[in-house]
Amino acid sequence: MTYPPVEQEYRVLLSRLLRLYPTGGASASRVRLRDPHFEVGHVAHGWYMRCHRGVQAVLVLEDAGFQVEAAPIRRSVLEHVVALKWLAAQGSVVAGILRRGAANDAKRRKEAMRAANWTSVDLGLFDAVIQDGHGIDSQYDNLLAFKHRCERFGTSHDWTTYLAETAQSHPSWESALPYLDVTTGKPVARNAPNPLVDQAGFCAIHLLEALICINQIIDSDSLAAALDEIELLVKALVVRQRQERGLPVPPELRTDESTKKASIPDL
């Protein structure tokens, strides 16, 4: 496929971002974790890989013309980025909250399988996970819900993007609209959606944010240096793309000094 120049540049930066972590088989068990994150390094690695591979999946689907159908994966990438922001901010404190969440989830799944009379699963397998969550303080259970987590650790851009991707992922007017031509006033069915905005920008922005979180969790001077350089390049592309589309440039992106640690708005 042929992409606009800015999208091609995003893809070049993406190829660099995808090589930053993991490198040479590195994982959370082979890197130096910062002390506040020692108990959750394995979770950080897993959540980051969902972002990493999710971005790759979005690009593969885009190349094949399935941008609309990639919405659930884009939403998953976004959710994991916000979760990494939470993990980077609170470190090992998150471990207990996740254990309670896993216990609650296991209990619901066990009850659902019993109600559905599933016989292919040993329901006793859930018991150890359920037991592991007993006695853990429930006061932070609200952080297991995306909305509360996003309000505390995400940005307004994260929440807005989440709502847009959810509308495309669940049965709704939004999910039907790409397959309808409504230009004549009466919906006419079509088999494929209209061409959409390319997704490399979304992928670069969210993978960068995920890597910034990983950089706060592991101790790596080389990763930090690479991110400082690529962050400025990504922000410059965001500014250029918004200018080319006639969109206003947010104040926090107008100068390098003020953008160094600012959140990057979606395109």
The per-residue pLDDT for range 157-189, each reduced to its tens digit, is: 999 999 999 999 999 999 999 999 998 889 999
pLDDT digits (tens, 9 = 90+) for 17-68: 999 999 754 555 567 899 999 999 999 999 999 999 999 999 999 999 999 9
- Residue 63's alpha-carbon distances to 52, 68, 172, 178, in angstroms, are 17, 12, 25, 18
pLDDT of the residue at 261: 44
The whole-model pTM stands at: 0.90
CA distance 14 to 204: 6
pLDDT digits 0-9 by tens, 69-96? 999 999 999 999 999 999 999 999 999 9
DSSP 84-95: HHHHHHHTTHHH
